[in-house]
Amino acid sequence: MKTILLASLALSSALAVVPAAQADEKAMEAAGRQLFAHHCTACHSLDSSENAFGPSLFGVVDRPAASVPRFAYSKAMQASGITWTEDNLRKWITDNEALVPGTRMRHVAIADPAERDYLISFLHTLR
């Protein structure tokens, strides 16, 4: 009897995990969208073909740095040789000038690790 109860408890919590994880992801993306509007939209368009003061960030995750056509990147960014993995994006928004000294992007420093996660989950949606 006890085993059956435990088994059914385990099953129901396993079933609950999937929707909760999806809900978390949506909530993180939504939080990231707001943070992006606050910290990044002034210079970055979400339109795939449009550069603003900064390059378009459409499809930025796993893209090589300085690869958007018709954008005048700094020499530092062109020479950086980095790819925008999650890890590098995290470093970039923690302290962009530490990752690419001489970049033309204004100093950005998102101190809260949770906020960095939200922003990165939002950047994943840009494709």
Please report, as ranges, the residues that interact with ligand HEC according to CB under 6 A: 39-40, 42-44, 53-55, 57, 60, 65-68, 73-74, 76-77, 84, 92-93, 103-106, 108, 119
For ligand HEC, give the closer residue by CB, 24 or 62. Answer: 62
Tell the smallest beta-carbon distance from residue 114 to ligand HEC (Å).
14
Least distance to ligand HEC, CB of residue 75, Å: 8
Cβ neighbourhood burial of 75 (10 Å; 0-12, 13-18, 19+): exposed
Per-residue DSSP letters for 61-88? TTPBTT-STT----HHHHHH--B--HHH
> What is the rounded radius of gyration, in angstroms, for the C-alpha atoms of the chain?
19
Q: Which is nearer to ligand HEC, 21 or 37 (CB)?
A: 37
Nearer to ligand HEC, 28 or 60 (CB): 60
